[in-house]
Structure 1
Amino acid sequence: MALQWLILTYVVAAEAAVAILLTLPTPKLLRNRITSLFSLILQPSLFIVPFAGFQLLDIYWKNEHRLMCNSEVCTATERDRYEKSIYKAQRNVILCVVACLLYWCISRICKFQKEIQNLEEVEKREKSQ
């Protein structure tokens, strides 16, 4: 299971880097090339949304079937292990939500950049007429 979370962590880091790269002020030609490149990459990378959703379902299922340790019978180590698993689950939920949110942000940024590019072309055509 740790490999799945490692992959999701790397994907989130890559998405954050792409979002930063897309929002940096760059020359128009470079920005258009970067936007078109990441627009091509967006569709194959859509796998992250169902992958994160599956991971959220897995966290929910494990949370529903987790042994509760809130009685006096539990030892200190059992209580610590329980709390650690709760913290890890919360961290993983945040990771899944951020993966989906960053994917959505990148797709919206690319869409807005393309719309801006199209409007600039229309404006250029109108000025030339």
Structure 2
Amino acid sequence: MALQWVILAYVVAAEAAVAIILTLPSPKALKSRIVSLFSLILQPALFIVPFSAFQLLDIYWKNEHRLMCSGEICTAAERDRYEKSIYKSQRNAVLCAAACLLYWCIYRICKYHREIQSMEEVEKRYKDQ
């Protein structure tokens, strides 16, 4: 299971880097090439949404079926292990949410850029007439 979280962490880091690259100011020609490149990558990268959803379901299932450690029966080590598993679950849930949110942000940035380009082309045609 740890490999899945490592993959998800790398995907989130890559999405964050792409979002930063897309939002940096750059010349129009370079910006349009960057946006077109990342637009081509967006469709195959959509796998991250169902993957994150599956991971969230896994976190929910494990949370519902986790043994509770609250009371005087538990030792200190058991209580620490229980709290550590809760913190890991919360971290992983934030990671899944960040993956979906960053994917959506990249998609919207690319879409806005394409809309701006089409509006600029329409404006240019009206000025030429």
Cα deviation for residue 107 of structure 1 reads 0.2
Query: Which residues of structure 2 form unaligned runs of 5+?
Result: none
Q: Deviations over 1:82-129 (max 9, x none)?
A: 000000000000000000000000000000000001011111111111
Cross-structure match for 2:101: 101
CA distance in 2, matches of 1:81, 1:27: 52
Q: How far does the alpha carbon of each residue in 1:26-67 deviate from its partner, in whole angstroms, 9 at most, with x for none?
A: 000111000010000000000000000000000000000000
TM-score normalized by structure 1?
0.99
The yes-or-no answer on 1:3 pairing with 2:3 is yes
Alignment RMSD, CA only? 0.4
Matched to 1:56, the amino acid is L
Number of matched pairs: 129
The alpha-carbon deviation at position 3 of structure 1 amounts to: 0.2
Q: Percent identity?
A: 78
Q: Does 1:66 align with 2:66?
A: yes
Q: Tell me the amino acid that sits aligned with residue 79 of structure 2.
A: R
Match of 1:14 in 2: 14
Matches within 5 A, 1:1-129: 1-129=1-129
Aligned counterparts of 1:59 and 1:98: Cα–Cα separation in 2: 15
One-letter code of the match for 2:59?
I
Gaps spanning 5+ residues in structure 1: where? none
Q: Displaced runs of 4+ in structure 1, greater than 3 A?
A: none
Distance 2:35 2:63 in 1: 40
TM-score w.r.t. the length of structure 2 is 0.99
Q: Distance in 2 between matches of 1:96 and 1:103?
A: 11
